[in-house]
Amino acid sequence: MDITLQSCREFVAALASSSPAPGGGGAAALVGAVGAALGNMVASLTVGKKKYASVEAEMLTLKAKCDALQQELLAQVEADEVNFLPLAKAYAISKDDPTRDNELEKASILACQTPLQIMELCCQAIDCMAVFAEKGSRLAVSDAGCGAVLCKAALQAASLNVFTNTKTMKTRAVAEDLNAKATAMLNTYCPIADQIFESVNLYIGS
């Protein structure tokens, strides 16, 4: 069953349980989707207003993009569970089993794929937040800031799910390549998200 079809309370309860999934990756995907949705809120409140007629086409384009990002991020909640469970099973293999190391290696690489995808989607969402914060309705600018903060949190949370899995990988060249991809996204997009937050904070006079 798609866990995103559960209520918020059920999802949080599942996170708090001893079940290996959903975990940090799934939570990151959900938070990223919420962040993207907040940006979309700004677009929705901007489109159709005479004051913002000059940016309406851009808002509609970004709204369509964020609609897709929301759906893709929600899809990663289940994808993270699917890709993590093989790793949980691999850890359960007896240490005396000669296949254990190979199974762990394959499962670790697989477990990195969804968090990296979540990170990429969050980066795209942060790019959208920058435009929403700059050009969207001033009545909803704080929502653009909130969206940026949430997408940054999701970006960072997903990165931890990459780094924890690469740490134990034996094929270090592959591990370092995965780490480099995650680090590059963090180094580029965390400052952008921070800048959006600061600009919004300055605008609302805090």
Residue at 38 is within a domain: yes
pLDDT > 90: what percent of the chain?
76
Q: How many Cβ atoms from other residues are within 10 Å of residue 144's Cβ? A: 30
Q: What is the mean pLDDT of residues 88-101?
A: 87
Residue at 3 is within a domain: no
Residue 22, preceding peptide bond in cis (omega within 30° of 0): yes
Quote the pLDDT of residue 62: 95
If you average pLDDT over every residue of the chain, what do you get?
93
Residue at 10 is within a domain: no
Residue at 125 is within a domain: yes
**Distance, CA of 152 to CA of 123 (rounded, Å):** 8
pLDDT confidence tier of residue 43, bands split at 50, 70 and 90: very high
Residue 58 pLDDT > 80 = yes
Residue at 111 is within a domain: yes
**Distance, CA of 166 to CA of 138 (rounded, Å):** 43
Asked whether 114 and 87 are in contact (CB, 8 A), the reply is no
Residue at 160 is within a domain: yes
Q: What secondary structure letter does DSSP report for 125? A: H
**Distance, CA of 160 to CA of 56 (rounded, Å):** 37
Residue at 15 is within a domain: no
113: buried, middle or exposed (CB in 10 Å: 19+, 13-18, 0-12)? middle
pLDDT in tens, 132-183: 999 999 999 999 999 999 999 999 999 999 999 999 999 999 999 999 999 9
Residue 21 pLDDT > 80 = no
| Domain interval for residue 123 | 21-203
Asked whether 164 and 74 are in contact (CB, 8 A), the reply is no
Residue 206 pLDDT > 70 = no
Number of domains in the chain: 1
| Whole-number Cα distances in Å, 205 to 46, 166, 195 | 21, 43, 15
Quote the pLDDT of residue 83: 86
Instruction: Supply the CATH number for residue 168's domain.
Output: 1.20.120.680
Residue at 132 is within a domain: yes
pLDDT confidence tier of residue 1, bands split at 50, 70 and 90: low
Quote the pLDDT of residue 25: 92
DSSP assignment of 148-177 equals: HHHHHHHHHHHHHHHHHHHTT-S-HHHHHH
